[in-house]
Amino acid sequence: MLVDTHAHFYHAKTPRADWHERNESRLRAGKRIGITTHVASILGSWGLTSPIYFPSPPDVTAGNDALLALQREHPDTIRGYVCVNPNYTAHARGEIVRCLDAGMIGIKLAASRRADDPLLDPIGVLARERRVPVLQHIWQHRRRDWPGQEASDAVELCALARRHPDVSFILAHIGGGGDWLHSLHAVADVPNVYVDLSGSGVDSGMLEACLESVGAKRLLWGTDLTMDTGWAKLRYLEALLTKEELALIRWKNAAQIFPAGAFPSD
């Protein structure tokens, strides 16, 4: 098994005219790589009708609906994170309940609110109640604010994770750019934070440093928007790890933190 813990899809009301083709190409590439499950999210309208990182409640709902439709269309290969904007607490909690009841298996938080903000606590409480992980978009060592988003870094995610020790948090795309060593230092002693290996980057020594920081038991394989470097990282890990360690990163850790039965052969 191979679980991509950080995938994305598009839908008709997003900026890409080729949205359907891109969804299909992800599935085709996934087959070639050997991905058995894409655990994906859709961030509202991807910026078409409200900002990517501050999606309006109607856009959040529309994106989640599109993902639910994809999950129904591909029941063996697609699973969903319900994406929410935690600034709208009641809507966010309602979406989580609605989409988990409909078969989604995790929660996606992007950059609508800093990870250590108290507004994320109601999300954490619900994640614990429903026993689902939270994938948090992370800027590896944010040194300043960026327009259009309230990006978080690993230190802020760890503050949230310490307040919710029974919830599994996934630090998104360690290869997504920025100072990943800063993130790895921050998460080393926070056992409920897992590191997803996605992102287009893979600096020299990055995978070795991930293993040194959190070990194979807290690493999750994923691709984000670039599947080719995700595949390259997998190939490198094949040369670096034992079969047992590799299986943890390919799927066993995911099977551990997502709800029982989340994956077809789980």
Instruction: Pick the closest to residue 63 from 23, 26, 9, 102 (CA basis).
Output: 9
- Does 76 interact with other proteins (rule: CB under 8 A)? no
* Shortest Å distance, C-beta 234 to other proteins: 12
- Does 217 interact with other proteins (rule: CB under 8 A)? no
Identify which range of 52-60, 80-88, 93-101, 231-239 contacts other proteins by CB under 8 A: 231-239
User: Sign of torsion, CA 125 128 131 134?
Assistant: positive
- Does 119 interact with other proteins (rule: CB under 8 A)? no
Q: Which is nearer to other proteins, 72 or 235 (by Cβ)?
A: 235
Element of type H or E holding 182: helix 180-187
Q: Which is nearer to other proteins, 19 or 236 (by Cβ)?
A: 236
Element of type H or E holding 193: strand 193-196
User: Sign of torsion, CA 42 45 47 51?
Assistant: negative
Q: Read out DSSP for 119-146?
A: GGHHHHHHHHHHT--EEE---BT--S--
| The only residue of 15, 203, 217, 264 in contact with other proteins, by rule CB under 8 A | 203
String marking each residue 157-196 x if it binds other proteins according to CB under 8 A: ----------------------x-x---------------
- Does 33 interact with other proteins (rule: CB under 8 A)? no
- Does 228 interact with other proteins (rule: CB under 8 A)? no
Element of type H or E holding 261: none
Residues in contact with other proteins by the rule CB under 8 A: 179, 181, 203-206, 208-209, 235-236, 239-240
